[in-house]
Amino acid sequence: MRAILLGGGISLLISLLGTRVVISLFTQWGYGQEIRDDGPTSHHTKRGTPTMGGVVIILAAVIGYFAAKLITFTPPSASALLLLFLFVGMGLVGFLDDFIKISKQRSLGLRSKAKMAGQTVIALVFGWLALSPWLEDENGRTPASEKLSFLRELDWFVLPTILALLLIWLFVAGFSNAVNLTDGLDGLAAGACAMVFGAYMLVNIWQSNQFCQDVPSASCYNVRDPLDLAIIAAAITGACFGFLWWNASPAKIFMGDTGSLALGSALAGFAILTRTELLLVILGGLFVLETMSVMLQVGFFKLTKGKRIFRMAPIHHHFEMLGWEQVTVVIRFWIITGLFVATGLGLFYAEWVSKL
């Protein structure tokens, strides 16, 4: 528990203080955000606001985790290193996207195929290692499993390895892009992510307390390294809160694709490594709604040859176009996230109680 508090606290301080330094540096270097011409006109005033702030979130979380491990004299686990690989790797893909936008002074960075190729490589390497018998612990547990999971593994739903890899890719690519779509208003993605990562910190702590020992029971959790994953969850939560101090409206800095891709992939990583894949659909319900709004808008537009369901997608822009203040949209979407998180955690605990 001490390592969890240390990881979260150190990460929070680094993010809170480091973001202020990065704002000054990026402003000096001219690392400003380009704004879509077809977006809400109120966003044009944000042109030139420093971006790539996700660099601070990533560094703060990684330093917070390793500092906590160093202070408590405990080695990092295979699951934690895998998750950090996914987190940092997707952050690098996002960094390339952001850097191209800045250097070429345009709102589009990496080509869609190049971006998806980077996401696919990172996701598949993560999935292959997570399922690999090379990373089994002394009890034969690998970081991930071929079984589909909701609140825990579904023993009757075992996937072939190739399909398990495909599912991992789908979750990683899907949620990294979902958080990227959600990151369109000041503080929206950072605040929502902080809540969901906080939920996964609680899930990991609970799984650690109810860990399957030598005599497994129906209510115990057959996962690998839950306590170590809780430290990372606390570190990312702290990093998001520290960044949110400067990203809240009016934002002094944006996380960019560097942050949104890293955070979204980390959410998927937690779902996979904690054996709660389908639970993430509930905990991260806001990100699912944002993605579905884009899919519905594009599909309906093509089917009807020009008609729209929403005034603009993702759906947070629809409410802006209706005249809602940006802060109002953000706070209400945070409330929706809180309801999704409370529902997910309630289901997680209720399922454990039912097995006693």
Smallest Cα–Cα separation from 57: which of 199, 170, 191, 200?
A: 191
DSSP state of 158: E
- Strand, coil or helix: 149: strand
Residues 111/93, Cβ–Cβ less than 8 Å: no
Tokens in use for 8?
């979260």
Write the DSSP assignment of 268-323 as a string of letters. Answer: HHHHHHTT-HHHHHHHTHHHHHHHHHHHHHHHHHHHTTS--SSSSSSHHHHHHHTT
221 beta partners: 211
Residue 257 in marked binding region? yes
Residues 279/182, Cβ–Cβ less than 8 Å: no
Smallest Cα–Cα separation from 177: which of 60, 265, 271?
A: 265
H/E stretch holding 131 reads helix 112-131
Beta strands in the chain (DSSP E): 147-149, 153-158
How far, in Å, CA of 227 to CA of 3, rounded? 9
Residue 180 in marked binding region? yes
CA torsion 180→185→187→188, rounded to 10°? -60
Task: Please report, for residues 60, 65, 328, 355, the alpha-carbon distance to residue 143 in angstroms, rounded to integers and kept in the order given.
Answer: 24, 18, 40, 24
Instruction: Name the binding residues for Mg(2+).
Output: 180, 257
Instruction: Name the binding residues.
Output: 180, 257
